[in-house]
Structure 1
Amino acid sequence: MKWEHALKDYKLYLKIERGLSINSINSYALDVKKLMEFLEFNNINTSPISITKETLQQFIYDIAKVVNARTQSRIISGLRSFFNYLIFEDYRTDNPLELIESPKIGRKLPDTLSIEDINRLIEAIDLSKPEGERNRAILETLYSCGLRVSELTNLKISDLFFEEGFIKVTGKGDKQRFVPIVDSAQKYIIIYKDSVRNQLSIQKGHEDTLFLNRRGKQLTRAMIFTIIKQLAVKIDLNKTISPHTLRHSFATHLLENGADLRTIQLMLGHESITTTEIYVHVDKSHLKNVLHTFHPRK
């Protein structure tokens, strides 16, 4: 079995069997491609079926020279998944990465903004320009609903259920969830949709897409990053922020105000509660508050 053939089948498996998004599939495939490049560069003639633990240790030692521990750990995890797939398809009987440990990494806590910082960001938007109303609606939606940037750019007009107070979000692996949306975010979306979006020459295929660029096409992820970074510079915010910062802030502020982790997990679209638990580490005072509020011998 050749590497190219194995990688093609693996990507098909990730799409059909596991239902992963294009971004996730490309990330997994990139880990395998890094291994393929290493083998080619070092003239190591081996196949996915015959590659040994020793060869993989050489590869890991090699990448450790140029990437940090977190990236190294992610690559190892991606390759484990690839070899597990080969076992699943009966190409191999073992996973050569089974006994290879990932490097120890500290748990990275997400950056968050204060409510005041978020208000300053939104207030810095120039509403005299047509894109100003759009950008305000974007920031309000990101913070109100805790969306991932791809979830925001893929949001459709047909996903808005304002009478019920929800929006339908398509997350990782095309999994859909309903997320509540506050009245203020609804108001700014309606203002943008009715006063700015309907003035655009909307391109074919983007008729239902909510947030559009000036040419009437869906906004890119990079454009959302640019909008937020420019606003951060405008208010002299001494932090490196991204759309994900608003998502982290959404979850942290909910937790600080008494929301339970299970509810936050559902709104964020986390598959596992352990992913959501990272927000407990952001503000440990929440744990004390819960104890003093609910323990019978407080």
Structure 2
Amino acid sequence: MTWEQAVTDFSLFLKIERGLAENTITGYTLDIEKLIHFLNAKSLSVSPVNIDTEVVAQFIYETAKTVNPRTQSRIISGLRSFFNYLIFENYRSTNPLDLIETPKIGRKLPDTLSVQDIDRLINAINVNKFYNGVQIGERDRTMLETLYSCGLRVSELIALKLSDLFFKEGFIKVTGKGNKERFVPISPVTQTYITNYIKTVRPSIKIQKDYKDTLFLNNRGKQLTRAMIFTIIKALAVKINLNKTISPHTFRHSFATHLLENGANLRAIQLMLGHESITTTEIYVHLDNTQLQKAIQTYHPRK
């Protein structure tokens, strides 16, 4: 079995059997390609079937010189999954990563924005801005309102469809990681923004055939890219002199944190964010001692 064949088969397995998103699959394959590049650079002629722990450990050691522990941990995890797949398919009997320890990393607390900072960013949008006849300012405001008020991932935002809107019931349908669907509550305010965008902005766009149902469109009538959302947010941060490095995910972190601070329970936040594990939600909302003390004082019978 060649490396090329193994990577192709593994990618199909991740897509078809595990239902992972394209970006996740790309991350896995890039890490395997780093190992392949290392083998080529060292002129090591080993296949995915016969590579051993010693060679993989050498690769991990060399990689550790140029990446942080979190990235190193991700690479080890990805390679371990790859070789477990080869075992599952009976190409190998052992995993060369079994004896390689993952570096210890602390919990990375996400950056968040205050409600005031969120307001400043959104208010900085020039809603009267047009590009090629399309009122992109109104579109951008609606997108950021939706991103924050629903706690969406950027991939979920750009994939939203008109058919995903259930305003009468007060929900939108979101397709998350692994094509898993969930229903997320949407506020009347955000519904108003979206309705206005649909009525006033979308009619001015020449929508391409495959994107008739896509909610947020670029001026060419196609789905927006993740990079475009990043660009919009970073430009707004510069505009208001916000001295923080932010991204679309910062809005998601802030959504979860603000809900928690205002009394929402962790389980409800987990469902809205679409997390399989409550542990992941705890990282997003980064419970601190103040919040824990408040919980004890409010809910414990012997407070």
- What range describes the TM-score normalised by the shorter chain of this pair? over 0.9
| In structure 2, distance between residues paired with 1:211 and 1:197 | 8
The match for 1:92 is 92
Output the aligned Cα RMSD: 1.0
Alpha-carbon contact 1:110-1:282 (below 8 Å) kept: no
| In structure 1, distance between residues paired with 2:61 and 2:284 | 33
Alpha-carbon contact 2:53-2:96 (below 8 Å) kept: yes
Alignment size in residue pairs:
298
The match for 1:205 is 210
C-alpha deviation, 1:280, in angstroms: 4.8
| In structure 1, distance between residues paired with 2:26 and 2:122 | 34
Alpha-carbon contact 2:49-2:91 (below 8 Å) kept: yes
Q: Which of 236, 261, 278 is the aligned partner of 1:231?
A: 236
| In structure 2, distance between residues paired with 1:283 and 1:133 | 37
| In structure 2, distance between residues paired with 1:228 and 1:261 | 28
C-alpha deviation, 1:204, in angstroms: 1.4
Name the aligned partner's letter for residue 294 of structure 1.
Y
Name structure 1 gaps, 5 residues minimum: none
The match for 1:139 is 144
The match for 2:197 is 192
How big is each residue's C-alpha offset from its partner over 1:198-244, in whole Å with a ceiling of 9 and x where there is no partner?
Answer: 11111111111110111111111011011111111111111011100
Q: Which of 148, 170, 183 is the aligned partner of 2:188?
A: 183
C-alpha deviation, 1:284, in angstroms: 3.2
Q: Which runs of 4+ in 1 moved over 6 A?
A: none
C-alpha deviation, 1:283, in angstroms: 3.5
The match for 2:10 is 10
SS of equivalent to 2:217: coil
C-alpha deviation, 1:174, in angstroms: 0.8
The match for 2:268 is 263
SS of equivalent to 1:277: helix
How big is each residue's C-alpha offset from its partner over 1:129-155, in whole Å with a ceiling of 9 and x where there is no partner?
Answer: 211111110111011100000000000
Return the TM-score normalized by structure 2.
0.96
The match for 2:83 is 83
C-alpha deviation, 1:282, in angstroms: 4.8
C-alpha deviation, 1:127, in angstroms: 1.4
